[in-house]
Amino acid sequence: MLEAVAFAPGTRVRVTQQMPQTHAVWTTSVEGTVCRYRQAKTGSWFAHAKEDRLWLDRLELRKDDGELVTLNLDRYSVVESL
């Protein structure tokens, strides 16, 4: 379970995400400072969900080079405070 402090704006984090494939797992990590954490709806329709839409956890980071990154968090995402 992730602590709310990991998502507080200004917190430096490393997010590691895994994408399972048929015979392998792709892993990627990104480090940066939290700008915003929110749940945002997608354009996808999902019955019996809030407003009949699919909602995703989104974490917005600013990398050291200034690049802004928006990550969709899922069960394969690990957020570590640095």
* Tens-digit pLDDT profile for residues 1-48: 455 556 899 999 999 999 888 999 999 999 999 999 998 877 766 666
The CA-atom distances, in angstroms, between 14 and each of 24, 45, 75, 79 are 22, 31, 16, 6
Q: Are 16 and 32 in contact (CB under 8 A)?
A: no
Domain that holds residue 41: 4-81
pTM of the predicted structure, to 2 decimals: 0.78
Domain count of the fold of the chain: 1
At 64, give phi and psi (nearest 5°): -60, -30
CA distance 45 to 2: 27
* Tens-digit pLDDT profile for residues 43-68: 766 666 666 667 789 999 999 999 99
pLDDT attached to residue 56: 85
